[in-house]
Amino acid sequence: MNKTELVKAIAGKAKLKLSDTEKLVNAFIETVSAELKTKGKVTLVGFGTFAVAHRKQKTGVNPKTGQKITISAKDVPVFKPGKALKEMVK
């Protein structure tokens, strides 16, 4: 499912206009992104948690040359599903 399909599905379930639903989805994405940018987290009970994880610097191998390279430390967004979502998917 892509963003357009998500907007249509939400609009159908919530009986909202497509334009209003698209604004809602965009606002959700912007809000979660802004919170993660400040290293915060967003928890939706039963669904899951959006957070930022720190990956340490590590040594890797260039698959083309076999040469060892250093992969820099960085922060990455992560999603941890909640218990209810895990149970539903099972």
Ordered by where they begin, the domains of the chain are 3-83 (4.10.520.10)
Q: What is the pTM of this model?
A: 0.82
Interval 13-68: pLDDT, tens: 999 999 999 999 999 999 999 999 999 999 999 999 999 999 999 999 999 999 99
A 10 A CB-CB count for 16 gives: 15
Interval 73-85: pLDDT, tens: 999 999 999 999 9
Compute the half-sphere exposure of residue 50: CA atoms within 13 Å on the CB side of its CA: 16
| Residues present in the chain in total | 90
**Distance of alpha carbon 81 from its chain centroid, rounded?**
11
Q: Which residue has the tokens 């206009």?
A: 17
pLDDT range class, residue 90, cuts 50, 70, 90:
confident
A 10 A CB-CB count for 7 gives: 20
Say what angle helices 3-14 and 18-37 make with each other, to 10 degrees: 120
